[in-house]
Structure 1
Amino acid sequence: MSSLYLDESLELGAVTPGATVELSGDEARHAVTVARVRTGERIAIGDGRGILVRGVVVSTGARELALEVEEVLVEEPPETRITLVQALAKGDRDELAVQAATELGVDAVVPWAAARSVSRWEGPKAEKGRQRWASIVREAVKQSIRAWLPPVAPVTTTGDLAGLLQGTRMLLLEPTATTPITDIRPDGRDLALVVGPEGGIAPPELERLVAAGAEPVRLGASVLRTSTAGPAAIAVLNAALGRW
């Protein structure tokens, strides 16, 4: 299977087989000097907006390479989008959740400063944290060879979630919920999966989110870590939406 490289500045909409696509900058430098891509190898280049081109590398430089296109793949956006609202967590547990969720096909990521989040993104740290998650998402897209690059929103508070996700069906992962996530059926709305931190969602937050229209759902009898709960739920939703 070919490796994927991303360049969001590329306009691949008019590219046809036989054309040449040039990759430059840091992404090309990584391909040539780190991954050691050489002339004659087959790779894929994507724009992060639904188009992948596959072909043979015909030339390389220190910070550039050229691809002769053999195949153009166009992927339409999903009918039902899934957004992961991931609570900030200590260590790298939130990052593990974001990485796995991206590989599993999540369409957008929202960092959530929950009441029980040990990690805090404040001041300059807020944008630095968002950029870190965006980098993790980007690398996960490349690893899983996805055509769409999910955006990562700025960190949000519980009070802002309802407004941010207006018109979206919010599914709140809660071990005490009576409705299993396997009972969820698509109703035409996009989905937002809300995952709490290590200590769970605080009762006042739970009440506030339910009052805003969120539906508490459970995964099963066991209680999963915040790093695995979101990806597990996304796998279930992928089956329900017919993605798998």
Structure 2
Amino acid sequence: MRRFFYDSSMQESAGQILITGPEAHHIRNVLRMQPGDCAELFDGKGAIITGEIGRVSAKEVVFEVLSRTDAADAGVPLTLAQAVIKGKKMDLVIQKATELGVDTFVPVLTRYCENSGRAGKQLERWQRIMLEACKQCRRPIPMQICAPTKLQDLSFPEGGHTIMPWENETGMPFSALELDDGQPVLVLIGPEGGFHPSEVAYAEEVGFRTISLGPRILRAETAALAAVVLAQQGMGNL
């Protein structure tokens, strides 16, 4: 069944959901859906609605609500703070982080970031990639994507775990971490060029634990996804 997002504060009333803009264009002109066709509709707040198209016009598509359920608790929140990497690699990390249940994604600006000056212009694109991934994996509540922030301005979960995979760490494997205490987790991943020594020193000073992801040097996007899976497993979210 096809899936679409809508704004419940503006597009829902009296048992009907009104879809406009790009989503309506996609339904009408790309998918060529007709009255009587059904779809799943998400409001981004946890509601999952099954709707049947009642009317299609040049500017809007009207769904009749057939059923409504609410999403279950997603578990302990996980934040992925990813140093900005090259375009398609960043797109991949955002897409897969969405699928893997990351709650919040923070693009981080570090010394060796690629094209850090354009990061702020990519937010709209990243939002589109994230929403498409939500539709594909049936995720009812979208991942929050924050504005790019400098490492020194990164905020941490109160009382939670802050973890930084680092290629020079040899004494602390990820498996040694105890993350099943119900506290939020923030994972910080570096760019293609890695962290500068001063950045590692700063992270350790503010409470990050450096950990190892194994004996091989991983690409930034590989490290991000490996760390997310391990963290989600350790937190009991998988």
Q: How does the TM-score come out when normalised to structure 2?
A: 0.88
Aligned to 1:224: 218
Cα pair 2:2 2:39 within 8 Å, conserved: yes
Q: Structure 1: which 5+ residue stretches go unaligned?
A: none
Cα pair 1:100 1:231 within 8 Å, conserved: yes
Mapping 1:35-74, distance limit 5 Å: 35-74=31-70
* Structure 1 residue ranges, 4+ long, deviating more than 4 angstroms after superposition: none
Aligned to 1:192: 186
* 1:171 aligned to which of 163, 170, 174: 163
Q: In structure 2, what is the Cα distance between the partners aligned to 1:187 and 1:207?
A: 27
Displacement after TM superposition at 1:44 (Å):
0.9
What is the identity, as a one-letter code, of the residue corresponding to 1:202? H
What is the identity, as a one-letter code, of the residue corresponding to 1:160? D
Tell me, what secondary structure is at the counterpart of 1:238?
Answer: helix
Q: In structure 1, what is the Cα distance between the partners aligned to 2:123 and 2:145?
A: 7
Query: Structure 1 residue 154 and structure 2 residue 160: aligned?
Result: no
Cα pair 1:111 1:130 within 8 Å, conserved: no
Tell me, what secondary structure is at the counterpart of 1:65?
Answer: strand
What is the identity, as a one-letter code, of the residue corresponding to 1:48? G
Tell me, what secondary structure is at the counterpart of 2:145?
Answer: coil
Q: In structure 1, what is the Cα distance between the partners aligned to 2:235 and 2:58?
A: 44
CA RMSD of aligned residues (A): 2.3
Displacement after TM superposition at 1:118 (Å):
2.0
Aligned to 1:237: 231
Aligned to 2:26: 30
Quick check: 61-70 or 200-209, which moved more? 61-70
Quick check: 89-98 or 182-191, which moved more? 182-191
Quick check: 210-219 or 228-237, which moved more? 228-237
Quick check: 78-87 or 60-69, which moved more? 60-69
Aligned residues: 234
Query: Structure 1 residue 206 and structure 2 residue 233: aligned?
Result: no
Displacement after TM superposition at 1:92 (Å):
1.8
Displacement after TM superposition at 1:42 (Å):
2.3
Displacement after TM superposition at 1:172 (Å):
0.6
Cα pair 2:163 2:185 within 8 Å, conserved: yes
Aligned to 1:86: 82
Tell me, what secondary structure is at the counterpart of 2:149?
Answer: coil
Displacement after TM superposition at 1:67 (Å):
2.2
Q: In structure 1, what is the Cα distance between the partners aligned to 2:37 and 2:214?
A: 45
Percent identity over the alignment is 28
Q: Structure 2: which 5+ residue stretches go unaligned?
A: none
* 2:112 aligned to which of 104, 113, 116: 116
